[in-house]
Structure 1
Amino acid sequence: SFRRSRLAWDVQDREPHAWLWQYYRALLAMRRRYPALAVGGKRRLRAQVKDVKILVVLRRAFAGATALVVLNFAPDVRSVPLRLPAGRWRRVLDSGEERYGGPGPQTPRLLSVSRRHNTRVHMAPWGVAIFLRTDATHSRP
């Protein structure tokens, strides 16, 4: 019914609602700050489905920056092999952070990718991680 579908704004400051609210706000702020997460369309997006559609890796480049989003839709930890452009990739979000109700970040703060372009990241169950290539990270003024 209409009454049951209305948002309960009075609960946004209490857990677990506060965690989800913080997560949602962080994602929106990242879209505004990092154009590679917001702009570019399908032509600039690379998607890979790995491990029987349980792991999804998205990469998008725009305006000199490259964003990497890794999603684990499995109930267990997964080790994800990644083939990325060389450089330093800085983690800007891990859904396991305490402020989102998790046990703490499960992914490394920094991924250093050598000329071989291969690295690996361990993803928490139901986890999401977002990385930006730090040598090409640009934010909007």
Structure 2
Amino acid sequence: AMLGRFYAICNCCACCCGAMQAHRHGTPMLASSGYVSRINPEECIGCETCLPFCQFDALHMEGDVAVVDEARCMGCGVCVSKCPVEAHELIRDPARGEPLEIHELLAAHGQTPPAECIAAFVPGELGKWHADYTD
């Protein structure tokens, strides 16, 4: 019943994680979050603040605007949390699978998620949650 759905969002360190290293070098071993980052070019100020935070090398500059390579973006939301002008947002991408409700997953294992875990899975809240733990 849970096949074809994604299960968690991981923001681990790309320098240590073998799965992330493989993904960055063209061997996908990770499941997408079901979201993709979008940048509003009208709002992007070209500060490049977001670029070094993308663990998947999915961001680059075209002129004075940051651009997302959607094929590389895993929808983790780190760039969203780092953009000083809120030009980034996470958009649900139906082609990337049906989101799994965290409550469903944990209930299937007889567990209840902590409040921080729930916040991380609410679209638009991931970046705020991640920023609290990485700044």
Asked if these proteins are the same fold (TM beyond 0.5), I'd say no
Bigger radius of gyration among the two:
1
TM-score, reference length from structure 2: 0.28
